[in-house]
């Protein structure tokens, strides 16, 4: 019997969300092993000492970055054509993972960054969100009429930002962006990746995903 790859995940982490989205789309089945970030199991840390999710263990191969996990899954099977995307889409993901995520963290966890002005950091995040909104004003998805990798890599982080103060977010006049986000949150796709599982324990029956 072939051993399935292991996906170490934490349900609410946006990096782990994007990994689950790509694996779900690819249909590449894995053993999902949910962890608590405050109680990281020894086998998880043995596989990836840096201790962040997601992590895929595929035989002797360990994949520790969320974007690499997405590519690992979709390069095996990409039925929705997410990888059919120009470099511009990858550049958007770079901006999401860099300047936008930094501004998001400085906003969401402002108490941890007393040297940062929360309003200034929120304004930095809005620069990226406004650029996304302008794109979505022209087409249903970031790269045109169909969802691509960029949409699914970025949506979990827009969700995280919106959830820091949803009333404020909704008042910003970002209609296309808000509709794009809300359609994702209402989708069967999102519900399926957000099923709650108890934390993994050695010896338990495998949790297969998708």
What are the pLDDT digits (tens) for 99-137? 999 999 988 876 677 777 788 889 999 999 999 999 999
For the entire predicted model, the pTM comes to: 0.94
Q: Which residues contact 106 (CB under 8 A, 6 or more apart)?
A: 113, 116, 118, 121, 124
Tell me the domains of the chain and their CATH numbers: 6-80+191-209 (3.40.30.10), 87-188 (1.20.1050.10)
Report pLDDT for 2: 61
- For the chain (210 residues), the mean pLDDT of every run of 10, in chain order, is 88 97 98 94 93 94 97 98 97 97 86 78 95 98 97 98 95 97 98 96 94
Question: Residue 94 is inside which H or E element, if any?
Answer: helix 87-95
């Amino acid at each position: 019997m072939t051993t399935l790859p292991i996906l170490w995940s934490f349900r609410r982490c946006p990096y782990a969300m994007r990994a689950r989205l790509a694996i779900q789309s690819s249909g590449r089945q894995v053993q999902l092993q949910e962890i608590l970030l405050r109680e990281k199991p020894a086998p998880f840390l043995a596989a990836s000492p840096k201790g962040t999710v997601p992590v895929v263990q595929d035989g002797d191969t360990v994949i520790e970055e969320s974007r690499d996990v997405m590519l690992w899954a979709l390069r095996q099977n990409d039925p929705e054509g997410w990888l059919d995307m120009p470099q511009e889409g990858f550049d958007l993901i770079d901006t999401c993972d860099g300047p936008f995520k930094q501004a998001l963290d400085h906003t969401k966890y402002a108490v941890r960054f007393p040297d940062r002005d929360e309003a200034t950091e929120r304004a930095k995040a809005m620069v990226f969100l406004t650029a996304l909104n302008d794109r979505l004003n022209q087409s249903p998805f970031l790269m045109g009429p169909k969802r691509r990798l960029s949409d699914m890599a970025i949506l979990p982080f827009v969700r995280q930002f919106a959830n820091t103060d949803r009333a404020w977010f909704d008042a910003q006049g970002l209609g296309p962006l808000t509709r794009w986000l809300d359609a994702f949150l209402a989708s069967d796709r999102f519900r399926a990746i957000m099923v709650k599982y108890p934390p993994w324990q050695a010896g338990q029956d495998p949790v297969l995903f998708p």
